[in-house]
Structure 1
Amino acid sequence: MTEPSGESPEKRRRPVAVPAAALVAFTAFGITALLGGLNETPEEPEPLGQGAVLDQGLYSTKLVESRVTLERAENRFEEDKRFVELVFDVTNKGDETRTVGVPAQKLEQAYLSDSFAGSLLKINPAFGEEAGPFAFVRSKGGDTQQLHPGVTSQVIVRYELEGDRRPPEKISFEMASFEFRTDFNNELPRWMMVATEAGDSYLPEVKARVTLPVKKGGAA
């Protein structure tokens, strides 16, 4: 049999016009996907406040509070001291005992630390060099510098309020994190601060930005 007049075995399809700009964009998107995907915007550090818990890799850290404390003089020849304190509940998630440490004086030196307090960055407002910081674990057996594996300890980082300086209404700071990996100097993996290369040094990557109100009053 012959096919009906005017029709072919398959229905003819109309060509669809595609704008040149759309074709170029689609092609570029395909090439980008093939080479590893679109560049993603870096995630903003997590904003945290009082009571929040932060996973820092090596440490699990609860932000307890910031407060002003008064330390009474032990005798008449000394003077009372006032401190602004940052209080944390810190759990060492590693297999070794760690020291509390202190925040680095310079940001470009911070990446060398694996201590808890070494992960505190850019504390604002700034305190004078004589003001501290002083950092320790508070326990029933007395203050110590040790963070034992699997144990949650109360860590206090404090700055002295010199003279008649008024305490701030709030205190803010950034926190870094740690990862267990090798580096070019050592084939054995170890805990190191997450950092990115910046010239001839490294700068810590900010895991979270923290703001805490400063509570007035209280004795140390």
Structure 2
Amino acid sequence: MTEPSGDSTDKPRRPVVVPAVALVAIAGLGITALLGGLSEAAEEPEALGPGAVLDQGLYDTKIVASRVTVEKAESQFAEDKRFVELIFDVTNKGDETMAVGNPAASPDKAHTWTAFAASLIKITPAFDQEAGPFSFARVKGGESRQLQPGVPNQVVVRYELQPSEQPPEKITFDMSSFVEEEQFLNRIPAWQMDSTEAGDKILPVIKARVTLPVEKGEAQ
């Protein structure tokens, strides 16, 4: 850049020095504009581990652990079964009974569900389809597929290991949450998974990313 010369001067043009810091700032603003602005920058989900508590709107959830559990065979002609389990302490904060549910087959299929386990998104490493998942709540006298309002339950999400399959060292998965909003047709408030449009798909909004070491469990 140079200063404009007047009509009545013969002095040589003097270059204008722009500080390097200013150039960097200008370049940064340009990149920010291309990316849609500072306010729209994607935020990393909260990183959680064993013992963490997550408010999912519809559920109060404590992330307990992941472990390998062995179910002893009922006869000498059967084989023991091994499972990788994800353990949660869950309280349904709504007014209606909710399902325990299962993680969806893919993230774009999760947003239509309000079941607790549907909020577990993209579990890594992935298990074979034959492995499960199988989900239930532990209740007095056995297992249940329901979560009653205001009643704390331990929820188990499990995957069966093949006889020669080794369990992973750790498991990572994302967790979404739920919001109560008025329905379009009747204006009645109802719970639904917090979701956003991504192209031609509707995807859950990820609230937390959980990493759990897989502990060696005890036989049942």
What is the TM-score of this pair, normalised by structure 2? 0.80
Matched, 1:39 2:39: yes
Aligned equivalents of 1:40, 1:201: Cα separation in 2: 19
CA contact (8 A) 2:106 2:122 kept: no
Q: Deviations over 1:57-100 (max 9, x none)?
A: 00010011000000011122321100000000001000011110
Please state how far the C-alpha of 1:189 moved relative to its aligned partner.
Answer: 1.3
Alignment correspondent of 1:53: 53
Q: Deviations over 1:87-139 (max 9, x none)?
A: 00001000011110000002111000100000000101110000000000012
Please state how far the C-alpha of 1:185 moved relative to its aligned partner.
Answer: 4.3
Aligned equivalents of 1:186, 1:202: Cα separation in 2: 22
Q: Secondary structure at the match of 1:166?
A: coil
Residues 167 and 196 of structure 1: is their aligned pair in 2 closer, same or farther, counting only changes over 3 Å?
same
Percent identity over the alignment is: 63
Structure 2 spans left out of the alignment, 5+ residues: 1-17, 26-36
Alignment correspondent of 1:6: none
Q: Deviations over 1:168-217 (max 9, x none)?
A: 11111000000000243442110000000123331001000000011013
Q: How many residue pairs align between the two structures?
A: 188
Alignment correspondent of 1:175: 175
Q: Larger Rg: 1 or 2?
A: 1
Alignment correspondent of 1:184: 184
Runs of 4+ in 1 over 6 A off after TM superposition: none
Aligned equivalents of 2:111, 2:75: Cα separation in 1: 41
- CA RMSD in angstroms comes to 2.0
Matched, 1:142 2:151: no
Matched, 1:113 2:113: yes
Residues 93 and 164 of structure 1: is their aligned pair in 2 closer, same or farther, counting only changes over 3 Å?
same
Alignment correspondent of 2:72: 72
Please state how far the C-alpha of 1:52 moved relative to its aligned partner.
Answer: 0.3
